[in-house]
Structure 1
Amino acid sequence: MTTNRYSSVYRPDLFSGQVAIVTGGGSGIGRCIAHELSSLGATVVLWGRGREALEQTVSEIAEDGGTATFVTGDIRDESAVEVAVDSVMERHGRIDALVNNAGGQFSALAADISANGFDAVVRNNLLGGFLVARSCYRASMRTQGGAIVNITADHSRGIPLMSHSSASRAGMANLTRTLAVEWASSGVRVNAVAPGFVASSGYDTYEGEPFADRLAMLPSLTLAQRHGTEAEVSAAVAFLLSEAASYITGQELLVGGGCDLMNGLLDIELHDKLPAFDGFHRSRRPDALDDVSPL
């Protein structure tokens, strides 16, 4: 049993009494978010397709003194989503927060992506997020209010080698704005967080050329000159879910170390003056970075 706790920058009771769903909460950024929300008092419901990773994360949270449960179901399946949300409502009676984190993609040139491959990523990253948000709104948030944070990506300049993900993430960003308008009168805020180059287990899902050889040079594409941490993304999510962000809705926050400002007009010298924040005591460095310098 670990004796450490998540070192959040927020007060420990920030989400006390609230129920928060985190899709894709068994690994990577979602796992980190689940741990932080739990450390801040929330009852966290992890959502995924496989039980093993969810059970492990629930066990970790329990060891740390938090409260978590999980539901399983394919977020791309409308009926499965309804069943999962109904089970959350039966057990907890309310849904105060939703983090639409589940998603995925593979690395390939657009010319080499099949129609089925493109559709699978869009259904996972966009349709699934919509179905979960809609179900949570209908079941609870329409009458009780709430906050939603959709996890997107740095898609503003396109995402070469991941055209399917770029399209779906941009769609989710626009959906975020639309839902913020439609659900405002129900007391629901909807925002998005766009991670940049974040060192999470997601790195380990990409194999071979051309992605693997690019990991080492990604920090040079940021003002911070480093990879981001899962905890830095989680901190942004926690802020947008909190009452401190009560006047913020329909926005997308880039957590990317200034990657959007790298335009080649000025060379950024290698530096370590923007050190990483990593409050996640159970963080795991991706295997893909084993041969890559931390800076």
Structure 2
Amino acid sequence: MTYDSIFKPGLFSGRTVLVTGGGSGIGRCTAHELAALGAQVVLVGRKQDKLENTAGEIVEDGGSVAWRVCDIREEDAVKAMVSAVIAEHGPIHHLVNNAGGQYPAPLASINQKGFETVVRTNLVGGFLVAREVFNQSMSRTGGSIVNMLADMWGGMPGMGHSGAARAGMENFTKTAAVEWGHAGVRVNAVAPGWIASSGMDTYPEAMKKMIRSLKDHVPLQRIGSESEVSAAIVFLLSPAAAFISGHSIRIDGAASQGSRAWTLGAAKNPEGYNGFHRAYLPDVLKGE
């Protein structure tokens, strides 16, 4: 089996795409789709085993892939990583700025170190990677960047550190789109809502009941798939989005809209899209 993308074969042939956080979750899925469409994919992450596993899958499926271990929170490491990728593969045409992480906690119990760690990962790290890709490559050749946000427009109770960082990343996206547009660089973002991804299994036991009930709070009455996020990312990277920049696409089944005053109807026609042949259903959702 191969990735069942809605995009035409060979769309990214001859293009090098850097995918941070490419060893798991949405990053892994997006890397698979881009590789299936002909891209030379370069996975970046902190954990070598995850990168090797995803790279092995892509090679087995016939794709072209390389990987680099890098902590995107470290400026010198990011500079060196981007330089090494360019030396090995030439210009970086696209960046999927996906890496991130957070943990559940109310604001009152988050200490300074915890808050700063999440902000460094979800905002500062993304800035460093995008800046170096621009300075070392895209400022001369043009390109496209897609940053990762989250559904934070109504705040993120229980994850205020991540909400603050993601809100900052949205503003960075708009600013970079203006400052870098002259070089032919487009900068956009995607904001996934509740997506069935391996990350759901990292949350504590106490949150499992809540996770299983998430679909009941989505107007489309279901949780999204990694493929639905990947498809939006691929579109924004593609020539079809050549005049779209500074925009954020919400992929959340309208969960970020409306209010509690409106009662959601019973679910019907709940079909979704899942083209990822290696998709992983989180353990917490099995049997649902």
Please tell me the residue identity of whatever aligns with 2:107: A
Task: Write the distance in 1 (CA, Å) between the matches of 2:22 and 2:174.
Answer: 24
Task: List structure 1 segments (4+ residues) > 3 angstroms apart after TM superposition.
Answer: none
In the other structure, the counterpart of 2:9 is: 12
Inter-CA distance 96–74: structure 2 relative to 1 (3 Å threshold)? same
Shift in Å, 1:253: 0.3
Query: Which runs of structure 2 are paired with 1:27-176 in the superposition (5 Å)?
Result: 27-176=24-173
1:194 aligns with 2:191: yes
The counterpart of 1:261, out of the listed 257, 262, 286, is: 257
In the other structure, the counterpart of 1:246 is: 242
Please tell me the residue identity of whatever aligns with 1:157: G
In the other structure, the counterpart of 2:267 is: 271
**Partner secondary structure for residue 68 of structure 1:** strand
The counterpart of 2:219, out of the listed 193, 209, 223, is: 223
| Structure 1, unaligned runs of 5 or more | none
CA RMSD of aligned residues (A): 0.9
Contact preservation (8 Å) 1:22, 1:99: yes
Task: Write the distance in 2 (CA, Å) between the matches of 1:266 and 1:113.
Answer: 33
Query: Which runs of structure 2 are paired with 1:205-220 in the superposition (5 Å)?
Result: 205-209=202-206, 211-220=207-216
Shift in Å, 1:212: 2.2
- 1:137-182 CA-to-partner distances (Å, cap 9, x unmatched) read 0111000000000011011001110000000000000100000000
Task: Write the distance in 2 (CA, Å) between the matches of 1:88 and 1:196.
Answer: 31
In the other structure, the counterpart of 1:289 is: 285
Shift in Å, 1:64: 0.7
Task: Write the distance in 2 (CA, Å) between the matches of 1:118 and 1:205.
Answer: 19
> 184-193 vs 274-283, which deviates more?
274-283
Task: Write the distance in 1 (CA, Å) between the matches of 2:98 and 2:23.
Answer: 11
Task: Write the distance in 2 (CA, Å) between the matches of 1:13 and 1:274.
Answer: 31
- 1:23-61 CA-to-partner distances (Å, cap 9, x unmatched) read 000000000000000111110000001111101111110
**Partner secondary structure for residue 205 of structure 2:** coil
| Structure 2, unaligned runs of 5 or more | none
Contact preservation (8 Å) 2:196, 2:226: yes
Shift in Å, 1:276: 1.1
Shift in Å, 1:218: 0.7
- 1:57-109 CA-to-partner distances (Å, cap 9, x unmatched) read 11110111110000111000000001111110110111000001000000011
**Partner secondary structure for residue 261 of structure 1:** coil
Shift in Å, 1:287: 1.3
TM-score (norm 1): 0.96
Shift in Å, 1:252: 0.5
Shift in Å, 1:266: 2.9
Shift in Å, 1:223: 1.1
Instruction: Figure out how many residues of one structure are paired with residues of the other and give that number.
Output: 288
Task: Write the distance in 1 (CA, Å) between the matches of 2:11 and 2:126.
Answer: 25
Task: Write the distance in 2 (CA, Å) between the matches of 1:44 and 1:144.
Answer: 18
